[in-house]
Amino acid sequence: MADHPAVEVSDLTVSYGSTPVLTGVELTVPAGTGVCVTGENGIGKSTLLRCVSGLQRPDSGRIRVFGAAPGSSPEFWAAVVTTVEPPTWYPGLTTREHAELICRAHGQDPDEAGVDEALSRFGLTGHADAIPPSLSSGQKQRLTLALALLRPSSLLILDEPEHRLDPDGRAAVAEMLADFVATGGSLLMASHDDKFAVASGAELTTMESLVA
């Protein structure tokens, strides 16, 4: 896995009906680095991230994640966390129980994985016994990111992780993402907040610049 870039996209083309959205997109995220794709609303950032996450099939082009086709194996989902699609909450499970479930699904003991610390870092301690649908939109985003960072992974694919976070929340998340990259993780994100992206350890690249 370490021999390959985290993400390699070449000559990617995606259309919705007869409308082309991505044409000839090229992107490489070297393993252990962060890249943030920027660009105006509707330029195709989420479409690119969905394709790299294996959640959308492109019309043509080649995508490799750690050298393999995305979404095609248990190894992919063991290595990759994506928040490109909105999360689905388990009915009746609390915030803490969601965190415990994520840990157990990935073979971690919740106490050893630091569930309480994670909830605390994301300002969710007071909401540990609440069900996620009762949280505010920013708190739901905090929980989504807490769950993404709690489980082990090699690549985070995050679509506008700063969305709905308050300034302190943005700063805290940026620091955690920068730690993730500094300790060998790879990060591909889309964002409208350049400062946040840079503080997250990501190199900025415009969507326009990805077209060969």
Ligand X SMILES: Nc1ncnc2c1ncn2[C@@H]1O[C@H](COP(=O)(O)OP(=O)(O)OP(=O)(O)O)[C@@H](O)[C@H]1O
Nearer to ligand X, 21 or 178 (CB): 21
Which residues between 16 and 35 bind ligand X (CB under 6 A)?
16, 21
Instruction: Round to whole Å and give the CA distance between 172 and 121.
Output: 8
Instruction: Round to whole Å and give the CA distance between 38 and 4.
Output: 24
Nearer to ligand X, 46 or 120 (CB): 46
Among 94, 92, 90, smallest CA distance to 130 is for 94
Q: Which helix (H) or strand (E) holds 75?
A: helix 74-79
CB 29, min distance to ligand X, A: 17
Residue span binding ligand X (CB under 6 A) among the ranges 43-51, 108-116, 137-145, 178-186: 43-51
Binds ligand X by CB under 6 A, chosen from 10, 23, 46, 94? 46
CB 160, min distance to ligand X, A: 7
Binds ligand X by CB under 6 A, chosen from 27, 34, 38, 45? 45
41 binds ligand X (CB under 6 A): yes
Binds ligand X by CB under 6 A, chosen from 43, 93, 171, 204? 43
Instruction: Round to whole Å and give the CA distance between 204 and 143.
Output: 25
User: 3-class SS at 206?
Assistant: strand
Q: Which residues pair with 188 in a beta bridge?
A: 35, 157
Among 135, 126, 193, 125, smallest CA distance to 159 is for 193
Which residues between 89 and 118 bind ligand X (CB under 6 A)?
none
Binds ligand X by CB under 6 A, chosen from 5, 34, 44, 132? 44
Phi, psi of 28 (to 5 degrees): -130, 130
Residues that bind ligand X (CB under 6 A): 16, 21, 39, 41-47
